[in-house]
Structure 1
Amino acid sequence: MTMAYATLGNEKNYTIFKYGPYTIRFKAPYSLEKYTAIKEWDHGYLVVMAKYNHNPQPEEEYIDLLPILQDLYISPEKFLQNIKEVRLENA
């Protein structure tokens, strides 16, 4: 994989992280409407702003991909090594 960026989005009750041929889906809070910004990307750790239906203002949230990748038997070191940034999908 030579892409330098991945994408983050959501669909129904799932967060969706895409990179190259991989699409990783994991449960999101039921009230998540959308992700509004990526504040930080640090080799598998994301700081994002998320809009929830119970709050008119976006809230800061944290996503750690390392345990998710490990549970899927994907080597975090190999998978994450070329990702330089994460962009919002459908923003």
Structure 2
Amino acid sequence: MDDEKAMELGRAAIGCEGGYTVFTGGGIVIRFRAPYSLLRYLRVKEWDRGYLVVDAEYAHSPEPVEEYIDLVPVLEDLYIDPADYLPRIREVVVDEG
């Protein structure tokens, strides 16, 4: 199954690019400012209706750092209804690209 088909079936991806966190899923791509020293997301530990727990690699830390991301306020700021959008996402994986 290709990545595009997996995204249609409820899988989303999180990654970072050029100082931004990039969340792709449910037919949309969301970009928001990431911490300045974020190098990459290593793994998604939990996904709960818009709330993510991830391990991240930072330039200033030799060990992975557990991070918490709440997508609900991000979605609301973008005028995307979380109650409509979030049920489409069943799983979130790290975008390795």
TM-score of the superposed pair, with normalisation by structure 2: 0.88
1:71 aligns with 2:83: no
Q: How many residues align?
A: 91
* Partner in structure 1 of residue 4 of structure 2: none
* RMSD value, Cα: 1.4
1:11 aligns with 2:17: yes
Where in structure 2 are there 5+ consecutive unaligned residues?
1-6
- Once the two structures are TM-superposed, the CA of residue 10 in structure 1 deviates from its matched residue by 0.3
Percent of paired sites with the same residue: 53
Structure number with higher helix proportion: 2
* Partner in structure 2 of residue 35 of structure 1: 41
SS in 2 for 1:25: strand
* Partner in structure 1 of residue 56 of structure 2: 50
TM-score of the superposed pair, with normalisation by structure 1: 0.94
